[in-house]
Structure 1
């Protein structure tokens, strides 16, 4: 039976194939496109619905989005199950494979991957608009929305399986079985932190401006910190990832404008660092992003594990970067500190102000909303939670015990080993393991003041 093109309505014989008029070519009608018999409104409406939903790829993406939604809603309600099944079961081999593949190349893969995914979403929407435009604006708009939702659903599911479910793990305070906060013991501990910070700074070399000299050799720092971080996680009974390499972020100029110093690529298993790094910050940023690679999703938890890693290092510059980051997170005055410490903090502030763009607050508001959607109630303020976590850890487990060499350097095969020091090292009763009893309550850090720089990592 002769058919009519659904665009130009010109009849064609099945033997001769479809007829393409100038009007059909202009409106996007292609040979071999589905044909409908004219004069049947019911068939036309049914065809519209089928075209809006698209083919099996579009429908598969929609199903993936529904699965991702179900996982995102259910996972936070069972953190203990997520820890056992995902964090200690599925995630380690999965991220090891991703990180091993991405580590074969030197450039960061997360930047071009983000651009590629965005381009594919735009392309899918544009193709849907062109194909459905002859059916009317409403049908075309619906087709675009369906295809964008399909692509977003597929990416969302991949993100959750590749890394995102780590947001549903128990909080690091429960993973480490820390005791309840003891603010009355913070003051003597903070004084000791200040003394260690000053003592380390007095031994370190400086550049011509009097700022601590930490060479920005990312590869050397990554090779040094990767095994230390794996040892840190293994010693705490957590899965250790022994793959992956830290890389410079290709989009560093844009990230600097947003006051971002590092980024973890969950789809590629890549810890990335913004170039150039702020003074005295490179070791901490590398350790922080590698903590994300180990499955620590929260920012306060990643900062805590970065501190624990750097305290193990035999390099004074690494330990100094840890103590300086902790002191900055405590938001304490710098009066009375070593002059070199004050110069370093001024250099860090000038570095951030030099590169910051006018849109940095908007970027951080967006990131704050993203963290809240992942179950982080504090949002971007969760960075400040690393300080009380670290203080409580030091109270529970003790301060790192430095081993001084004859030359004044703190050296040794194991670096600074955690050991009780005086009354600060007294161990309280152990908390309940993850998934049992009440969640450990954290000391709430002071909220950042307006105009303050966020603790960007």
Structure 2
């Protein structure tokens, strides 16, 4: 029996899976041929074409995709019982196309070299090294906090609109690129997500659409979190797919910004990760370190915590579990927990750099 085009597309998922699984074992190939090769051109073209559009085309595509899937099951769901082979041919053909576009447009970045290799630093650290670094970043956070408000008990209020922050983070990347040309960020494509309310209920600050290379930011969250969130999503656009690595690069971009408000957002962002890791390792030391933090910084932390708690719902853990599974399927062995890798990057990066 002659194979149809649709059957051929459906079966193409097999060689695709084989190729992706082979490349997972060769991060050096992915780094040189894709992340520093094909992807640089594809991502730049995507941002040039879509960056000027004020709304998120990617959000609209997701909504359209959901509607098309619903339409498919309404019109062809009966095939599951009446013509099972045809039904699965249709399903795998759609999946095969999406799988190919995902990996060509962005997804192969999950399998590039790890970031500590890029910076030529270690990925392990001791509790004593963590304590020493946390003390230093507390001092830096407290100092910048007092520069901005001159009162240790007052929280920092960002003097910008959220739209202004979308553009302001590029200054940090410009400065960062002088030391690391690979982190050059141009042709901005940062959008306020039209799906911000669903994102909030799901517990997400933003996301990168891998098909359009648009960075989506949840506009409902407190503006204090905007600089690091925007810089994080821009790091994804540069091809750093792992969440922990995008966190670290986003941190570097904000503390290298000329504006002290961005620096404050960056330092206190990193401090919170260090405190979280300290809490897991040594509760008594965590409490001692926490007492050293200006009350105004804690108020900024509580503001963000209160925001997310106000949207807690029974479905949120399901979304988080789904994202955790997605990360593990893309070479992030610890899933959501891998976010703590940022602490290893922070501690070891500053072995060679002044804080």
| TM-score, scaled relative to structure 2 | 0.88
- Partner residue of 1:193 out of 129, 134, 137: 137
SS in 1 for 2:350: helix
Q: RMSD over aligned Cα, in angstroms?
A: 2.3
Q: Deviations over 1:90-127 (max 9, x none)?
A: 00110111111111210111111112223334444554
Is 1:98 paired with 2:46?
Answer: yes
- Give how far 1:76 is off: 0.9
Write the distance in 1 (CA, Å) between the matches of 2:137 and 2:318: 34
**Rg larger in structure:** 1
Could you say which residue in structure 2 is the equivalent of 1:110?
58
Could you say which residue in structure 1 is the equivalent of 2:110?
167
Write the distance in 2 (CA, Å) between the matches of 1:353 and 1:236: 38
Is 1:145 paired with 2:93?
Answer: no
Write the distance in 2 (CA, Å) between the matches of 1:180 and 1:251: 36
- Give how far 1:336 is off: 2.6
Write the distance in 2 (CA, Å) between the matches of 1:346 and 1:283: 17
Question: Matches of residues 313-392 of structure 1 in structure 2 within 5 Å?
Answer: 313-330=257-274, 331=276, 332-333=286-287, 334-392=290-348
Contact 1:92 1:239 in 2 (8 A): no
Contact 2:52 2:189 in 1 (8 A): no
Q: Deviations over 1:149-195 (max 9, x none)?
A: 11011011100000000001011011111135342433222211111
Could you say which residue in structure 2 is the equivalent of 1:261?
205
Could you say which residue in structure 2 is the equivalent of 1:286?
230
Is 1:307 paired with 2:251?
Answer: yes
- Give how far 1:357 is off: 2.1
SS in 2 for 1:220: helix
Contact 1:222 1:245 in 2 (8 A): no
- Give how far 1:238 is off: 2.1
Write the distance in 2 (CA, Å) between the matches of 1:343 and 1:213: 11
Gap change, CA 1:191 and 1:84, over 3 Å in 2: same
Write the distance in 2 (CA, Å) between the matches of 1:122 and 1:151: 13
Q: Structure 2: which 5+ runs fail to align? A: 277-285
| TM-score, scaled relative to structure 1 | 0.70
Contact 1:128 1:140 in 2 (8 A): no
Provide the aligned length of Structure 1 versus Structure 2: 340
Bigger relative contact order (CA 8 A; separation at least 6): 2
Contact 1:244 1:269 in 2 (8 A): no
Contact 1:110 1:265 in 2 (8 A): yes
